[in-house]
Amino acid sequence: MKFKVRAASQFLDNVRRDLTRPHAFAFERVGFVYAREAVVDGGPSLLLPFAYAPVADAHYMPKEGVGACISGDAIREAMAFILREDACVLHTHMHENVGMPKFSRVDVRNYPGVVRAFQNTRPDRPHGALLLSRDAAVARVWPVGAAEPVMDSLVISVGRPMGIFSEGAIYG
Amino acid sequence: MSLPKDQLVIIKSVWPDAQLVEEGGKPFVLLASVRLPDRCTPKIVACLICPHERDGYPCRLFLSERVTGGKPVNWNTSTAIAERSWQAFSLKLSNPTPTLYDIAHHFLGALA
Amino acid sequence: MDDHSRQSFLNPQLDRAMKACKVGVIGLSGGGSHIVTQLAHYGFDRYVLCDPKTTERKHLHRMLGATIADAEASAPKVEVMERLIRGLRPHPEIQAFKGEWISCAAALKDCDVLFAAVDTVGARRDIEQFARKYAIALIDVGMDVSRANDGGYRVAGRVFASLPGGPCMQCAGFINNDMLAKEAAAYGMAGIRPQVVSVNGVVASAAVLYAIDLLTGKTGKVALPCFITFDAGSMTMGPHPYLSVVTSPCECFSSSEIGDARFVPIG
């Protein structure tokens, strides 16, 4: 099972704008991108972002050694949304470099727990993580019921210019 | 999806498999299996009640296939809604505010 | 081994983009056959093709790649285009559907760029709605022949690029409810739809260039018009005058309409 996350570049730029707002003490911001899953004939599963919710300032907690630590309430708000809207969710943050972003070791260590919470809430949908840079993006998506993510998901930013990204590669 | 509940209850009582469909931000009602008189081909079609303006018509009924053997109608539209192709014939209802049932009843009556 | 050295100035990563980007072409005759031919020459490798028709003699004056033998054998247009691509690309991935575009919607959803070369306003409306639902970049081409005031003919082509969030065909005044109503009222009376191979070629070239620009960002921040017209009489191409009244962002489609239609049982 492969995944393709395809979104309007305007949508991703709006998310970038939100994630670059400074926070009182956190070094980076976190948000949730909500997506609809579409069934594709002979291709990857398509995830189509349709909404974004930033984590509220009050849901950040001080923690050494990480860019941002968010509370259980923030996760619970995302869980409530996907339950209500029958949606997939991508935990989203941004590294402020140009070019391909790379998931950090902290990201890789923490995602399984967060994704498990989403899988428990909405087990019939894939969930995962989206990492943005200033001009690119990568995603890791956990298929339904999977303990491990699919590594070579594509992220397509549709606009002018278009971007086609997968971990380690920029197309276009 | 905002369609009057009382009208949906009536639709459900006549076509128990009726479903609401949201496409392009607008609501439709899908009747998955509507039986037509024996003289019609096919005898069973899916119908999509379109209670809002489309193609210059204030409301329409879309069918999964063009029907032959019924009353003569002017099939004038092929379209795509909810990842499926649909056919429609030309008919404007005299009632400016028809209920969902009115739409289905009058269009099906005009056809067979 | 591909040798695209003469187009490498476009973007060093264009080759990889063309391998990753899935393109769809709806309608494979006058406009579509030019588009497919150019995409294959550029080096695109992943296609969804659809057209319900078979090749006839009358198509030979405008359909690139079609032969007399294809017309005599009533070869499906999708097969002609598939053969053309395979003659230019060593390992293309082609999904070819002989049918109406909606019959292969489940495959078209995977396309990142979709070209539409269709005849009717209703089909344009439906395809654009489909493209918006799946966040696909849609590039529509077409041509018209109309009577000019001097009694002659005015031959014009146009390209409309509909990107998610950008102006749509209704915003730009390219299609409207009156046109849809008139088309429905006149259904079956369209008569012949004149096509001129060279005008098709001009607008198809502009459409493919637009797609290459999307993938390479070659023109950078220069604003490209989304609605381009070609007037064969004056040999000029430029932004459509309607663009001056376009409202942006598009208010016709909202992000909540993204994805497959939703079915909800009643009661």
The pLDDT value recorded for residue B28 is 96
Contacting subunits of C (3+ beta carbon pairs below 8 A): A, B
Query: Distance of CA C135 to CAs A44, B83, C108, C224, Å?
Result: 15, 15, 12, 19
- Report, as ranges of residue numbers, the positions in chain C whose pLDDT lies below 70: 1-3, 6, 8-10, 187-192, 218-223, 247-248
CATH 3.40.50.720 at C5-240, yes or no: yes
CB pairs under 8 A between B and C: 89
For this complex, say whether ipTM is above 0.95. Answer: no
Query: Distance of CA B21 to CAs A39, B81, C113, C169, C252, Å?
Result: 17, 10, 27, 24, 19
**In the structure, what pLDDT confidence band is assigned to residue A152 with cuts at 50, 70 and 90?**
confident
Which chain B residue has the Cα nearest residue C175? B55
Minimal CA separation from B102 to chain C, in Å: 18
Interfacial residues of A (vs C; Cβ cutoff 8 Å): 4, 6-11, 36-44, 46, 48-51, 154, 156, 158-162, 164, 166, 169-172
DSSP C55: P
Out of B11, B22, B85, the one facing C262 most closely (by C-beta) is B22
- Candidates C102, C104, C129, partner chain B, best to mutate (most B CBs within 10 A): C102
User: How large is the average pLDDT for residues B37-56?
Assistant: 94
Q: Which residues are bridge partners to A66 per DSSP?
A: none
State the residue range of the domain holding B103.
5-111
Can you say how many angstroms the Cα of residue B6 is from the centroid of all Cα atoms in its chain?
18
| C 219-258 → B contacts, CB under 8 A | 253-254, 256-257
Domains along chain A? Answer: 3-171 (3.40.140)
Of A166-170, B16-20, C185-189, the least confident: C185-189
Cβ within 8 Å of residue A49, ≥6 positions away: A5, A7, A11, A33, A34, A35, A90, C258
- Candidates C136, C187, C257, C260, partner chain B, best to mutate (most B CBs within 10 A): C187
The pLDDT value recorded for residue A151 is 83
Q: How far apart are CA C48 and CA B87, in angstroms?
A: 25
Number of domains in chain B: 1
User: How large is the average pLDDT for residues A51-58?
Assistant: 96
Contacting subunits of B (3+ beta carbon pairs below 8 A): C
- Tell me whether residues C103 and B85 touch, CB distance under 8 A: yes
Provide DSSP, C39-54: HHHHT--EEEEE--PB
| C 203-242 → A contacts, CB under 8 A | 213-217, 224
- Tell me whether residues C184 and B25 touch, CB distance under 8 A: no
- Measured at the CA of B6, the angle between CA B2 and CA B10, to 5 degrees, comes to 115
Instruction: Share the mean pLDDT of chain B.
Output: 93
**In the structure, what pLDDT confidence band is assigned to residue A169 with cuts at 50, 70 and 90?**
low
Instruction: Report the percentage of chain B scoring pLDDT > 90.
Output: 79
Which chain C residue has the Cα nearest residue B25? C257
The pLDDT value recorded for residue C3 is 65
**In the structure, what pLDDT confidence band is assigned to residue A44 with cuts at 50, 70 and 90?**
confident
User: How large is the average pLDDT for residues B15-27?
Assistant: 90
- Tell me whether residues B53 and C262 touch, CB distance under 8 A: no
Q: How far apart are CA A161 and CA C14, in angstroms?
A: 12
Which chain C residue has the Cα nearest residue B4? C266
Domain segments of chain C as ranges: 5-240
pLDDT tens-digit series, residues A67-115? 889 999 999 999 999 999 999 999 999 998 998 999 999 899 999 999 9
Minimal CA separation from C144 to chain A, in Å: 28
